[in-house]
Amino acid sequence: MSKNQIPLWEVFIRPRNGLAHKHCGSVHAADEVMALQAARDVYTRRGEGTSIWVVPSAAITASDPENKDENFEPALSKVYRHPTFYEIPDEVGHM
């Protein structure tokens, strides 16, 4: 069986106590139903999740690592974008 007959899917699991689905790996599956089952069998064997998303790997558009510098370097010098220059009143408590 040639590999490209079985597409790749990216798997996102929402952990028990977390809010957001997190990327945890990938599976091969013929379609979305089988991908969900494969993800369940491969990535939730130890009670890791309460919800699964699968996304065709081909549907993901990724940034080019070659453009890393122009994409991300300019942000490094802009510390004022971090909200660390405020005095938080004690009454607010933990934010």
CB 51 within 8 A of CB 17: no
β partners of residue 31:
none
Interface with other proteins in residues 31-90 (CB under 8 A): 31, 33-34, 37-38, 40-42, 45
Give the integer Cα–Cα distance in Å for 27 and 5. 13
Count of Cβ atoms closer than 10 Å to residue 12 Cβ: 18
Based on the shown chain and the rule CB under 8 A, indicate whether residue 24 belongs to the binding site for other proteins: no
* Nearest distance, CB of residue 9 and other proteins, angstroms: 10
Q: Which is nearer to other proteins, 21 or 40 (CB)?
A: 40
Residues of this chain that interact with other proteins (CB under 8 A) are 1, 6, 27-31, 33-34, 37-38, 40-42, 45
